[in-house]
Amino acid sequence: MRITTHFSGATQFGAALSLALCSAVGNADDAPDGSDARTLDSVVVEGQQAKKVSSPKYTQPLLDTPQTVTQVPRMVIEDQNLLGLQDILATLPGITFGAGEGGGGYGDSINLRGFPANSDITVDGLRDSAQYTRSDTFNVESIEVIHGANSVHSGAGAVGGTINLVSKVAGEREFNRVQAGVGSDRYLRGTVDSNFLLGESAALRLNLMRHENDQPGRDVDTAERWGFAPSIAFGLGSDTRFTLSYLRQEDENTPEYGVPYYNGGPLPGVDPSTYFGYRNVDVQEIGVDSFTALFEHQFSDNFSLRNITRQAIVEQFSRVDPPQGTYCLDTGINPATGASCNAPGTYQPSGPRGTTRDTRNELLVTQTDVLAHFDTGGIAHDLVLGFSLSDESFALDSGNSLRNPDGSVVALPRMDLYHPDTRYTGPVNFIRTALQRGELDNRAVYALDTLNFNEQWLLNLGARWERNEGTHRTDVVALPSAGGAITAGPELRNDEDLFSWRAGLVWKPAPHATVYLSRGNSKSPSKASVNGACTAQTCDVDAETAVITELGGKWDLYDGALSLTASIFRNDRQNYRVADLGNPDNPSGEQQLDGRARVDGLLLGVAGRINERWAVYANYSRLESEVLQGVSDRQSGLGLDYTRGDRLLNTPEDSIGLWTAWDIAPGWQIGYGASYLGKVWLTQHSATNVDGPLVTAPGYWVQRAMVSWEAIDDLQLQLNLNNLADKEYYQRPRNNGWAVPGDARNATLTATYVF
């Protein structure tokens, strides 16, 4: 299953693109007559303020949608030269990232409003649940973050919200847009985005990408990838439209585990550039194949049908050496225990070095929506009736590669803590130790209706029923020295009937202002994603429930050029699975739905044009999180709930995201951005630390800037400077484990030619 094609298919393409110059500037299909949409007018009208959510389940404009939705359009992404999903989400408040590990392997590990969101990523409204790194958004038009418990729209899960990637597709305007760029840290990038008209009602869009770079501020970490994404549309401008799209992307990256991180910070004296793995062993290879068919038919102005179907395969092979082991500081202290150690300044690797995972996710999903507008008794309805069917499978072969042929462990030498040896000279033999297989079938029907009583009052209602059926099995593989026999594990099954709902009341005191109150829920079964394992202790446990209550307001100024939003909310995780240890009435050890947690929050946003030369895109988030009960009722009654009152892990209290741009002179634009992430808690109280201090990771600011110059007609140059202050900061912390240093100061010079 390991991906072996690497980059051979992209060699000629990459060589051709290296002859061009490129600029991360506005999307050409946002501009008429093939011109480049760089002016602030186009940023606001088409780039920065989409009028509604891309999903047909949202029938109303954003102004009248009783829910917080944060949109990141293509213009804002390219102004800041943000490439991967985590790069983009890091500029938004209330979002943090985990260490990148999980049962499904290395990849995006996202925390949204205090709750895990790994399985709450969608592409064009369809779930993308594979655990991998979404390293490039060359084929993404915009990103939408739907905040709050939201199963009624996106299905099982979505406790903190949903992250949706909107794909580029063929359209009605012809353009050609070529980009290529260079920068510090061996940054080389080229893209082509072209839309060709094929007669009066058909079009072909072609997106190509080739990229490579070293990780800024790191000695070894590299990334290399290529992508190919054609889209063809028929019936443009007619009542019946049919679009076919395909995406192929291949990555070969160095898995980023960073440096040892103990008690809220890196080890003293360890340079953030230091690599603690083996450069000749560690690798992350990703292959994505995705085929999408979209059919739309408009029966009349008030009645339409839409179907989207996707088949996708995601393969990932990773072999990693996280910085695990025993450290002895040059002071002679072991940072994990605080005790003395007898080899100052050294590091003894141990733990799961050479961890190897070979995964394959397959998805087949179809979703059909019927949209109708009609009146009943003077009340206007915008009704969506729909159903979806999905079938997913997951396969994971896992084991270790730093092994002798018989499977025995290789002794790893002690090394210098401050200058570790990054080349491995021992045997490399993949010894498979486990086989995991999973399947997940989901069938759902839903109804969503907006009742428009008059110009001032709207009521948004939604309900969803779904049947979620999943299986999981883990087989154990004996070592070659023991015969290599496979012992089949039990097939565990989880079947759930789930009901989700949402209601929102909207009051419009003025045509361009709304005040809303909404409430909804989410349901999370034990088998919420195909690559999530349920165990004998969890598979028969009922689904978890979360409820969101939100009060907010939205105000569009200057004929919609500038949008202001504000909301306060309570996200209640009303019950989640916790262990039930030592209960004589529960001999199986089945977990109980006794856990409860809460996040109270405030979210403020502004997006658009303040005047004809100045645009701003900014958000602020305040999250007050709390564990209400972290153990079973029985343990709580015995006074063993040590985490009660603790903050949720990796959940910042304050966070800010800002990007602003000015037209300073004809053909010249400058931009400035800043992101702030407040401190987060890495530990909670326990039986060994009942009342003692907790470990936190410090907050930090990251600043960036941009200068753009229209050199000649249709050719623009853009200089991006990231981490202006060269701030040392750490992401994805795993306490008493590791954290990844943020990018050091770096620069890219890019240019775009539109014709």
Quick check: 395 and 367 in contact, CB under 8 A? no
Question: What would the pLDDT profile of 223-265 be if each residue is shown by its tens digit?
Answer: 999 999 999 999 999 999 999 999 999 999 999 899 999 999 9
Query: Mean of the pLDDT values across residues 388-411?
Result: 95
Q: Is 642 helix (H, G, I), strand (E, B) or coil?
A: coil
Per the listing, tokens 């994971």 go with: 396
410 within 8 A of 390, measured Cβ to Cβ: no
Average pLDDT, stretch 286-302? 97
Count Cβ atoms within 10 A of the Cβ of residue 339 and give its class: 0-12 exposed, 13-18 middle, 19 or more buried. exposed
Of 582 and 670, more confident: 670
The pLDDT of residue 194 = 98
Token pair belonging to 439: 């399947």
* DSSP secondary structure letters along 681-740: E----BTTBSSS---EEPPEEEEEEEEEEEEETTEEEEEEEESTT----EEEEETTEEEE
Note the pLDDT tens digit of each residue in 645-665. Answer: 999 999 999 999 999 999 999
Instruction: List b or e across 633-661, with b for residues whose CB sees 16 or more CB atoms inside 10 angstroms.
Output: ebbeeeebbbbbebbbbbbbbbbbbbbbb
Distance CA 54, CA 88 (A): 18
| Helical (H) or strand (E) element with 12 | helix 11-17
Q: How far apart are CA 443 and CA 469, in angstroms?
A: 9
Percent of the chain with pLDDT over 90: 86
pLDDT, residue 103, reads: 53
Element (H, E) at 74: helix 74-79
Question: Mean pLDDT of all residues in the chain?
Answer: 91
Backbone angles phi, psi at 482, to 5 degrees: -105, 15
50-64, 337-351, 715-729: range with highest mean pLDDT: 715-729
Question: Shortest CA distance to 701 belongs to which of 734, 654, 749?
Answer: 654
What confidence tier does 681 reach under pLDDT thresholds 50, 70, 90?
very high
Q: Residue 3 pLDDT > 80, yes or no?
A: no
State the pLDDT at residue 35. 36
DSSP 653: S
pLDDT tens sequence across 114-148: 999 988 999 999 999 899 999 999 999 999 999 99
Structure tokens at 337: 């225990």
The predicted model gives 7-30 an average pLDDT of 33
Q: pLDDT digit string (tens) for 726-739? A: 999 999 998 888 99
Give the closest residue to 719 by CA, choosing from 191, 205, 22: 22
pLDDT at residue 565 in the model: 97
How many Å apart are CA 687 and CA 415, to the nearest integer? 35
CA nearest to 155, candidates 616, 477, 530, 482: 530
How does strand 715-722 pair with strand 700-712? antiparallel
pLDDT tens digit string along 577-589? 999 988 999 999 9
CA distance 309 to 13: 29
pLDDT classification of 390: cutoffs 50, 70, 90: very high
Task: Supply 472's token pair.
Answer: 């999981």
Q: Is 367 helix (H, G, I), strand (E, B) or coil?
A: strand
- Does 429 score more than 70 pLDDT? yes
Query: Is the predicted pLDDT of residue 24 greater than 60, yes or no?
Result: no
Token pair 């409860």: residue: 596
Instruction: Identify the CATH homologous superfamily for domain 8-412+433-754.
Output: TonB-dependent receptor, beta-barrel domain (2.40.170.20)
**Band of the pLDDT at 49, cuts 50, 70, 90?**
low
Strand order in the sheet with 325-328: 325-328, 346-349, 415-416
What pLDDT sits at residue 39?
35
The pLDDT confidence band at residue 50, using thresholds 50, 70 and 90, is: low
At residue 10, the pLDDT reads: 36
pLDDT of residue 494: 96
Instruction: Please enumerate in sequence order all residues whose Cβ is within 8 A of that of 377, keeping only pairs 6 or more positions apart, or say none.
Output: none
Mean pLDDT of 421-425: 94
Q: What is the mean pLDDT of residues 8-27?
A: 32
Rounded Cα distance between 425 and 418, Å, is 20
Pairing of strands 562-578, 592-611: antiparallel
Q: CA dihedral defined by 231, 232, 236, 242, rounded to 10 degrees? A: -100
Looking at residue 2, its pLDDT comes to 54
Q: Identify whether the C-beta of residue 48 lies closer than 8 Å to the C-beta of residue 42.
A: no
**Is-contact 231 243, C-beta < 8 A?**
yes
Instruction: Please state, in angstroms and rounded to a whole number, the distance separating the CA atoms of residues 209 and 722.
Output: 22
Bridge-partner residues for 569, per DSSP? 550, 601
